[in-house]
Structure 1
Amino acid sequence: MQNVPKEWREEQSVGGARDKDVKPWEGREALFQNNTGNSKQDMSTGKEKKNGEMMNGGGKGMEGTDKESLMMELTRLVQKTVKESSWWELRGIDITILALSFLLLPPAFLLLGSSQALVFVLGMVLMGVSHAVITIKGTHLASHGSLSESPTWADVWAVFFIEVCGSFTARAGVTSHIKMHHAHTNVIGLGDSSTWKIPYLPRGVYLFIAPLAVPVITPLVALGQLKEHSMGQALRTVLMVFLGLYAQYWLLIHVSGFQCLYSTLLCMLLCRAMFSLPYIHVNIFQHIGLPMFSPTRRPKRIYQMTHGVLNLPRNPLLDWIFGHSLINCHVEHHLFPFLSDNMCLKVKPIVSQYLKEKELPYQEDSYLSRLQLFFHKYQELMVFAPPITELVGVQ
């Protein structure tokens, strides 16, 4: 970070928030401004100005250039759709999916108490699906404040989903995801997805075995993050993570009838690791192998996101479990990170058509194609540092 220009060091979230602790709800008001291009009407206050910059690429030299005006024009198109959408479309559909996942938990615990193999396996599947929806889709939406209009409730949901359900620290999760990944997408040394690289592992182990350890690694990494927390935040995180883990353990003992410590812990591991492979795959498929940028010389936001982000095709299972914003609407999500999964899907035709009309990349590839690419080019993509891309003429 020492050689990064001051204006980039100051960016704490998508395009310019400068609070030490990024909040999950910050910046989303920009989608509801009346006119992104009218500085008098929409940026008359400091807060509105900051939010406008967050949605349009940093704000420096924002007016009077074609680069920023593309993002401003696209933002106005998306704003119109957002304003015309009902609460059900904005949040209701995704909240319902999360609620249904919680409702699957009681029958899952009961089925896990059966002595019949098929019934037991069904209980494992229900538990694994429910856990994945809650801890992947739920934590992702909560980290962006997409579950509530209230800042207070946004913070509550972030703690609940990330710490209680996801066994991680909400402060580190929200800050690193929004401050680094979204603000500096594919920027070398900042938001280049290097978190997901373990270069000393062979490709077969990394792609097909190591992800199974994610449920164990996650709380251990969370403990390592606590040194950056205040005493109160650290204590809360430890208590919330313990509560989530112990609640599942207690229910397996008292509802499912498990009697052995090791079998109970193994069941917890298998349920929590059920979708770890596609989770790790998705996190690397959609960014690594795409253009990477220098911290000191990178394109404006719309170019950065369209070149550095990729969509996977529609997949009923992964769309439900991971959410559209992580699968088939990842480009839309990076351009408008405060939209819910359903709203990303709703604005997808608008975004894709606009980018294609402006001859900007709208990158899409299949899951199998990306898996083959990473398997055959593992050394190049995951071991060696990728080359920096220079987008001549749009820096």
Structure 2
Amino acid sequence: MSTSMQNIPEKRRVTGSLRESQMSQDGEGHRGSILDADPTQVFEKQVDAEQETLMMELTRLVQKSLRESSWWERRGIDCTILTAVFITLPAGFLLLGSSQPLYFLLGLLIMGVAHAVITVKGAHMASHGALSESPTWAKFWAVFFIEVCGSFSARAGVQAHVKMHHAYTNVIGLGDSSTWKIPFLPRSVYLFIAPLAVPVITPVVAMGQMKGQSPSQIVRTVLCVCLGFFSQYYLLRCVSGLSCGSALLVMLLCRAMFSLPYIHVNIFQHIGLPMFSSTCRPKRIYQMTHGVLNLPRNPLLDWTFGHSLINCHVEHHLFPYLSDNMCLKVKPIVSQYLKDKQLPYQEDGYLSRLSLFFHKYQELMVFAPPITELVGVQ
């Protein structure tokens, strides 16, 4: 036993005093079982305990910050941003009815930014229940932002994002971001042209995702998607005074305005990072720190997509119930803690990731990512 344990790295070994304390608490019979155990199993149990302790310690630090934060910090700032965006919509519709090109383009910009904030930031926070502490209101906001505004099924969205992607981040075959891969497309088409079709593809995919849902859920989703679509179309016709074709074209342009960075962000922050086996994956803190990456602060994307999707994605995956603003507030706590514990805190620039995916498109997006040496570490 002593000879085998010498081969284990010092920083991963539990101190002798701790082992003696545990054995003295468990009695002589248990002490004998430890001495007779397989060294590999003992090591794995020790690493398990270490990683669980790290996550518990970090959770306590974050929860302390959460308790000390006001409602304004926890939810108010993000709710205010969403409210402000809705307030700008009337100006956007009026400007789109102007015959002046600059006013028209300003109206188009307002509508595009508003759509991105509502359907990305709003829908993302709503899917995690981060907009309200009330379960009833949380469900209402999820349906409103995801189905009415985002033209997607709230139930399918929560299932795919929260219950699969977050629970099985970078686990092959489960939460490995495979849904974002379209292997038959050339890299230039995938990265710079195909995302423009997201507004058309989204409701089509939503219909396919409703398989297995109850009739009432299917009817609700169809009605909500139609309500959102025809409300915008009606306002463009009646308030902006656009023709049928012009209204549809403006809807497409507004909804596709931020589709390129939307697709980019979704693949940059997970694909190309360590992958894990579904039968032998590491503990949560190890999984998230190795399989998630932060992008740098970006004023435009921070406001439209939210901090949890851009520069606080690591924090978001560790604590998905936090709002965008709270993710930003606990970012120094999380980053410093991970660095102190010698755990990775991965960050990279937007253009750097874009260059990586462009030059390694075949490896990262066409072929299945290789299982790394991290698979099986417990």
Shorter-chain TM-score tier: 0.7 to 0.9
Cα distance in 2 for partners of 1:392, 1:370 equals 24
**Structure 1: gaps spanning 5 or more residues:** 1-60
Matched, 1:377 2:360: yes
Residue 369 of structure 1 and its aligned partner are, at CA, apart by: 0.1
Other structure's SS at 1:346 match: helix
1:360 maps to: 343
Cα distance in 2 for partners of 1:350, 1:169 equals 35
Residue 62 of structure 1 and its aligned partner are, at CA, apart by: 11
8 Å contact kept, 1:292–1:387:
yes
Cα distance in 2 for partners of 1:213, 1:117 equals 25
Residue 63 of structure 1 and its aligned partner are, at CA, apart by: 11
Q: 1:64 to 1:167 in 2, by over 3 A?
A: closer
2:258 maps to: 275
Cα distance in 1 for partners of 2:376, 2:59 equals 23
Cα distance in 2 for partners of 1:371, 1:63 equals 35
Amino acid at match of 1:154: A
Amino acid at match of 1:212: L
Q: From 148, 155, 159, give the equivalent of 1:175.
A: 159
Identity value in percent: 79
8 Å contact kept, 1:282–1:326:
yes
Amino acid at match of 1:347: V
Matched, 1:297 2:249: no
Q: From 160, 163, 186, give the equivalent of 2:144.
A: 160
8 Å contact kept, 2:275–2:375:
no
1:49 maps to: none
Matched, 1:255 2:243: no
Cα distance in 2 for partners of 1:376, 1:228 equals 40
Q: From 44, 52, 61, give the equivalent of 1:77.
A: 61
Cα distance in 2 for partners of 1:121, 1:63 equals 57
Other structure's SS at 2:211 match: helix
Matched, 1:112 2:96: yes
Residue 297 of structure 1 and its aligned partner are, at CA, apart by: 1.1
8 Å contact kept, 2:276–2:376:
no
Cα distance in 2 for partners of 1:85, 1:309 equals 26
Cα distance in 2 for partners of 1:133, 1:352 equals 26
**Could you say what the CA RMSD is over the residues aligned between the two structures, in angstroms?**
1.3
Matched, 1:232 2:180: no
Residue 218 of structure 1 and its aligned partner are, at CA, apart by: 0.3
1:287 maps to: 270
Cα distance in 1 for partners of 2:338, 2:358 equals 30
Offset from partner CA, 1:30-64 (integer Å, 9 cap, x none)? xxxxxxxxxxxxxxxxxxxxxxxxxxxxxxx8998
Residue 391 of structure 1 and its aligned partner are, at CA, apart by: 2.4
Matched, 1:139 2:123: yes
2:174 maps to: 190
Of residues 92-101 and 64-73 in structure 1, the stretch that sits farther from structure 2 once superposed is: 64-73
Matches within 5 A, 1:319-334: 319-334=302-317
Q: 1:63 to 1:201 in 2, by over 3 A?
A: closer
Q: 1:392 to 1:226 in 2, by over 3 A?
A: closer
Cα distance in 2 for partners of 1:281, 1:211 equals 9
8 Å contact kept, 1:298–1:304:
yes
Offset from partner CA, 1:102-136 (integer Å, 9 cap, x none)? 01100000000000111100000000000000000
Cα distance in 2 for partners of 1:365, 1:273 equals 25
Q: 1:239 to 1:324 in 2, by over 3 A?
A: same
Offset from partner CA, 1:64-111 (integer Å, 9 cap, x none)? 811100000000000100000000000000000000110110000000
Q: From 175, 183, 187, give the equivalent of 1:199.
A: 183
Q: 1:258 to 1:187 in 2, by over 3 A?
A: same
Residue 392 of structure 1 and its aligned partner are, at CA, apart by: 7.5
Offset from partner CA, 1:243-271 (integer Å, 9 cap, x none)? 00000000000000012x22211110000
8 Å contact kept, 1:62–1:68:
no
1:222 maps to: 206
Amino acid at match of 1:333: H
Amino acid at match of 2:190: Y
Of residues 222-231 and 139-148 in structure 1, the stretch that sits farther from structure 2 once superposed is: 222-231
Other structure's SS at 1:387 match: coil
Residue 394 of structure 1 and its aligned partner are, at CA, apart by: 3.9
Matched, 1:151 2:135: yes
Matched, 1:350 2:322: no
8 Å contact kept, 1:214–1:273:
yes
Amino acid at match of 2:315: E
